[in-house]
Chain A
Amino acid sequence: MSTPGASTGAADQAGASTGAADQWPLWEVFVRAGRGLSHVHVGSLHAPDAELAVRNARDLYTRRGEGVSIWVVPADAVTTSDPDAKGAFFESPAGKNYRHAVYYTKSEGVKHL
């Protein structure tokens, strides 16, 4: 198991499991910038628990009104795809251009298609 982009390895090293008594675990922070938008990963922070994590996230990542909603997730709760298996995971879509609208050139110029 490993963490996503922004925190790989960090959770293994800085997480609560290995830390000193005063060390807080790492949390990944996702902020929704406005209604109708997805929560987007903005970074991470340290907090002793979920309640303080979401408050720290508010103070750290929305000081300039950047968000209307926040998610926090323990960094070590995120499972990520294995970069070494990049080929096996992400090769398949290549060669399937017919999944994209632009593949269909003959209908170009026809309205409402």
Chain B
Amino acid sequence: MTRPTPDAHGEVSVDRLALAEELAGTGSASGPGEGARIAPPETAEYALRLGDDALVLAQRLGDWITRAPELEEDVALGNIALDLIGHARSLLHYAGSATGRSEDELAYWRDEPEWRNAWLFEQPNGDFACTIARQLLASCYWFELNTALSASTDPILAAVGAKAVKEVDYHRDHAAQWTLRLAGGTEESRRRMIQGVADVWPYLDELFEDDELVTRLAADGVAVLPSSLRAGTEAAIAQVFAEAELEPPAGRTAFTASGGGRRGKHTEHLGPLLAELQVLARQHPGASW
């Protein structure tokens, strides 16, 4: 008897996709449409800070693709970078609405002093331990920030925060898992993890600095007061450190005197990053891609 042999692999067809909204909170993937919300000027400046943080770190993480310690990690870091680009696009899109600029005009046509990201995000990748240390600080901070932001009185920021908080929750877990393994793995990995933490630690404080703008916005319930995020962020980091048997490095650098990223003063690492990010777009002014 011959058995009919159905094609075990089934038909190959393009999946029908119900595409999720591409840019959270914008209500449209294709730019400001009818009724799109225009950001008030100070809110736009705030969105720019948050958007620049995400974009600059995404740009850094993108460099790991093809260079990660294992192929599975190429995929994991790629996922994180993609989430961050998503956050950045939503935020820059919204920030640009105040001045009629697109997300790309903001990303590609601002010079270094116009960038508002904090210094942590522009720091080089270093080795994998350094990247993980930076991820741990960044994602613990972002988890607190986006949790609070999802209750913002600004509907766009609230929507962006609500989407982002779920994604950075995973990023935080990823960083914590790796922190445990590197700190508790071999002697070499522990040494590198300690060094990685020491390298990024001085940039933590800047994330919690309040200034006039953010204080005004926070009073209206639009922004989250950075100083209010310190306790939660530090507690989350401390929990991971306790399990990994790591100590927070002694001594921190305060950046208020020198300006800091929120006022467009940057470390020497942002310039080359932007040069690479922007080079092609700037060779073709007015071009569309």
Contacts and interface: CB of A to CB of B under 8 A. Distances in A.
A56 B72 contact: yes
Contacts of A16: none
A46 B15 contact: no
Nearest to A56: B72
Interface in B1-40: 15, 17
Nearest to B20: A65
B177 A52 contact: yes
A73 interface: no
Contacts of A45: 72
Contacts of B76: 55-56, 59
A50 B76 CA distance: 16
Contacts of B70: 24, 46
A64 interface: yes
Given A24-B70, A64-B15, A55 B174 contact: yes
Query: Chain B interface residue count: which class?
Result: 10 to 19
Interface in B60-81: 70, 72, 75-76, 79
A47 B177 CA distance: 12
A48 interface: yes
B15 to A, nearest CB: 7
Interface string A15-29: 000000000100000
B181 interface: yes
A47 B69 CA distance: 12
B154 interface: no
Contact of B177 (A46, A55, A59, A64): A55
Contacts of B72: 45-47, 56, 59-60
B112 interface: no
Nearest to A46: B72
A55 B173 CA distance: 9
A51 B79 contact: no
Contacts of B177: 51-52, 55
Contacts of A52: 177, 181
Contact of B79 (A24, A47, A48, A59): A59
A92 to B, nearest CB: 16
A48 B70 CA distance: 11
Nearest to A52: B177
Contacts of A48: 181
A63 interface: yes
Interface string A57-69: 0011001100000
Contacts of A59: 72, 75-76, 79
A85 B245 CA distance: 52
6 contacts: A45-B72, A46-B70, A46-B72, A52-B181, A56-B76, A63-B79
Given A51-B177, A60-B75, 12 more contacts: A45-B72, A47-B72, A52-B177, A52-B181, A55-B76, A55-B173, A55-B174, A55-B177, A59-B72, A59-B79, A63-B75, A63-B79
